Structure 1
Amino acid sequence: MSVWNPPRLLGLAGMSLLRDEALAITALEYLPTELFPPLFMEAFYRSRSETLKAMVHTWPFVRLPLGGLMEMPHLETLQAVLDGLDVLIAQKDRPRRCRLRVLDLRNTGQDFWSMWSGDRACGCPGSLMAPVAEDRSRTEQPLAPLEVFIDLHLKERTMDGFLTYLLRWVEERRASINLCCKKLKIVSMPMENITKVLSTVQLDCIQEVQVNCTWHLSTLATFAPLLGQMGHVQRLFLSHIHVSPLEEQEEQHVVQITSQFLRLHHLRDLHLESPCYLEACLEQMLRCLTTPLDNLAITHCLLTDSDLTHLSQCPNIRQLKGLDLSGISLTYSSPELLPVLLEKVAATLQELCLDQCGIVDSQLQAILPALSRCSQLRSFSLRGNFLSTAVMEKLLRHTSQLPSLSQELYPVPRESYSSQGILQPGRLAQCRDELFEVLRVLGRPRVIWLNSSPCPHCGDNTFYHPQPVIYR
């Protein structure tokens, strides 16, 4: 038997008003606050541009989370909303009911629409008015430029009609509008276009930057001054920066890039993938860090012993929660360097990734004492290294007293392979049994995952045939 869900009175009222758009616009001055969100949604989905425009300059909340209604509003909808903002900007005296200060075009705000449309239950009727009370207290302050929030994902085809129209609109109203971006991701776009887009954005609003481009070092150096203006960046991801053997002024480019870190006073997470330009000059970048890091990833590049020494001596890594050195060859490093580094971060480290570092038995044994002192460690990954069953048994014993360790990713022991490097299921089963016996003796419930060699078809970071060893 099906359950009939009758329409809510708010929805019926909104639909009734929209049958006569002129009447709906006239009624906005007297419309109860709780009717604004459902009426806005009705007008949005029915493409009633004039109603949307009128609702913007009578909006009784500080924030209009337009992006929460769909992943990216249509151009027609955006034009209607921006036209409404134009009316608001042009008025010397703010309309009596209007509290609007922020237009949010990000994919956020779904809870706002759910609450006011009745899809999400509220604690009590009084809670419906809480946003309005908060908004009124905020708008008693002197008026500042209106803020428009958007997340930018810059790629070759990003400059569509929506973004082009928005940027042009903001550019023509610089005195009245601040375009704010919290997350900036650059995948592929000419530097000229990137510079043009960012010239419209309040750079000090950006908190997360991800550059995933195959740039030349000189291109990154050109981008660096823009990065330096993003003073509130907390998370920075840079990957696949290409250094040409014939590239001139390489040292000057590195200085230009690393010097910008002096201006990033809020940086907490730093992820550098394939930063070959830092080989033998990591210390230069570390000296430019101004705040303690929470997470550091330097992956898939060559680092010298001097680089690792400077890393362990850097005062801004003493409070690390996450350390990822995947793909950093430690085969030829001095055996004492990694233990010293782990000792420095042992008190706070929660995640450690040493995948594909060329670690062999002697190197793993050297870090076991320091590793066993990482009392906060939750996740540890050693995939892609070449270790014996005997040393892995020692590893399990040393880490058995780490109370928070819950994710363990280890390589299949080398005894599981033939002399030609082919995984042998029978040998693997025997190694798993031996490791299970160690877990049984230790007596602590535990799950470890054994991963075979990196898949040659899927790339270095993809491992296949995971095999859990479970002791309950």
Structure 2
Amino acid sequence: MSVHNPPRHVILAAVSLWRDEALAISSLEYLSMELYPPLFMAAFSGRNRETLKAMVQAWPFVRLPLVGKCKMWVVDLRNTGQNFTSLWSGASSYGWVEQRKSSIHLWCKKLKIVSMPMDNIMKVLSMVQLDYIQEVQKQEQHHIVQITSQFLKLSHFQDLHLASPSFPEGCLDQMLRCLKSPLDSLSRTKCWFTESDLTHLSQSPDISQLKSLDLSGVTMTDFRPELLQVLLEKNAATIQELDFDVCGIMDSQLEAFLPALSHCSRLRSFSLCGNLLSTAAMEKLLRHTAVLPCLRQECYPAPQETYRPRGVLLEARLAQLRAQLLEILRDLGCPRIIWISLSPCPRCGEDVCHHMEPIIYSYTA
């Protein structure tokens, strides 16, 4: 949630309208969206009932219903589709809402916290109806323990995305124990990740109905192979997207979770780019995934035989292996499109290459 005060000209324009109630009401149809919050605050503070009544009807984000005799205002930001927080942030807005905590309720689905002092974070969390938050994005690891303690109140929390390279060790287990309902989406990319973390994931009762799992950039080379197998088995009935790019996965780990992978009947997208697989392991992968009826996007690494010992690409060998993989697809008899990624990319040097031509098999191929 970014913190900045509204531009001075916006505040002055809102105050000018507030002073002329008839003009304010007649201008609502043509009013810039950024003028609505400061005008609303000014009208509410000044008890301009007619202006407030007109604003409720013309509110561009969502209605602000007045509930009965208790005079409670509900600011519902759940379905706006707007970056409303940038308009309502800043010390003056915090103070305005804090003074009216008994009569103002703030609702939102997504909360994004970027470089804020802990005091401000806790103020925001105390103002928002936490039970309605479905997604929280925290870009830094500072104060993650204190923020995690607030998750105990989140019964609708669905998506967890962690992307800090220095995310504190041991915090994942603490966060999982705070959850009150199963997650839909879990993304932990380019983070420090231990075998203990993966064990906690596979054992957590709230990591059993995932639709999306992204562990790209998490090195799992030395992890016990059965951990990914258990994790996939638990989520086989619901998982739709899997991203294990650049995880250091080797043949033994792949072969351990292939049986579980073949039971993920709703899987639509699967990416394994940047991992260390042989041609033999790739063939097993293609045969196990051939039974998945919904799988449409498949991105796999070029087999290790494509490279010299120091990682130099053998282009003739790559062409030969692509032809070999196409023959495997023909043998399986199911129309498929698979993407083979070089690592690193010869064009841009990234760990995953997006410049390769796909291998396409159709009945007429």
TM-score by length of 1: 0.60
CA shift, 1:463, in A, is 3.9
Q: 1:208 to 1:66 in 2, by over 3 A?
A: farther
Distance 2:72 2:337 in 1: 54
Distance 2:189 2:89 in 1: 36
Distance 1:341 1:329 in 2: 16
Asked if 1:315 is matched to 2:283, the reply is: no
Partner of 1:395: 285
CA shift, 1:356, in A, is 1.5
**Higher RCO (C-alpha under 8 Å, 6+ residues apart):** 2
Instruction: Give matches, 1:69-468, under 5 Å.
Output: 70=33, 73-74=34-35, 78-86=37-45, 89=47, 91=49, 98=53, 101=56, 141-142=68-69, 144-148=71-75, 163-174=90-101, 176-195=103-122, 201-213=128-140, 215-216=141-142, 219-225=143-149, 228=150, 261-273=151-163, 274=165, 276-279=167-170, 282-454=172-344, 463-468=353-358
CA shift, 1:190, in A, is 3.0
Distance 1:145 1:461 in 2: 53
Q: 1:178 to 1:102 in 2, by over 3 A?
A: farther
Distance 1:430 1:285 in 2: 47
Q: 1:362 to 1:223 in 2, by over 3 A?
A: closer
CA shift, 1:373, in A, is 1.2
Distance 1:462 1:187 in 2: 28
Q: Which amino acid aligns with 1:191?
A: M
CA shift, 1:400, in A, is 0.9
SS in 2 for 1:386: coil
Distance 1:192 1:96 in 2: 34
Partner of 1:112: none
| CA displacement 1:128-175 (0-9 Å, x = unmatched) | xxxxxxx9xx77855642344567798xxx7x9974554444445555
Asked whether the equivalents of residues 50 and 80 of structure 1 are also in contact (C-alpha less than 8 Å), the reply is: yes
Q: Which runs of 5+ in 1 are unaligned?
A: 1-44, 110-134, 229-260
| CA displacement 1:84-131 (0-9 Å, x = unmatched) | 4445x355xxx59947558867xx57xxxxxxxxxxxxxxxxxxxxxx
Mean Cα deviation higher: 190-199 or 48-57: 48-57
TM-score by length of 2: 0.75
CA shift, 1:449, in A, is 1.2
Alignment coverage as a number of residue pairs: 343
Q: Which amino acid aligns with 1:145?
A: M
Q: 1:171 to 1:140 in 2, by over 3 A?
A: closer
CA shift, 1:366, in A, is 2.1
CA shift, 1:298, in A, is 3.1
Distance 1:200 1:97 in 2: 22
Percent identical pairs in the alignment equals 49
Asked whether the equivalents of residues 152 and 183 of structure 1 are also in contact (C-alpha less than 8 Å), the reply is: no
| CA displacement 1:171-225 (0-9 Å, x = unmatched) | 4555554444443222223334444555555555544321112x44xx3234445
Asked whether the equivalents of residues 56 and 84 of structure 1 are also in contact (C-alpha less than 8 Å), the reply is: no
Q: 1:338 to 1:198 in 2, by over 3 A?
A: closer
Q: 1:170 to 1:288 in 2, by over 3 A?
A: closer
SS in 1 for 2:338: strand
Distance 1:152 1:102 in 2: 20
Partner of 1:258: none
Structure with bigger gyration radius: 1
Distance 1:357 1:65 in 2: 53
Q: Which runs of 5+ in 2 are unaligned?
A: 1-12
Q: Which amino acid aligns with 1:417?
A: Y
Asked whether the equivalents of residues 292 and 319 of structure 1 are also in contact (C-alpha less than 8 Å), the reply is: yes
Asked whether the equivalents of residues 75 and 107 of structure 2 are also in contact (C-alpha less than 8 Å), the reply is: yes
Output the aligned Cα RMSD.
Answer: 4.1
Asked whether the equivalents of residues 54 and 84 of structure 1 are also in contact (C-alpha less than 8 Å), the reply is: no
CA shift, 1:456, in A, is 10
Q: 1:391 to 1:58 in 2, by over 3 A?
A: same
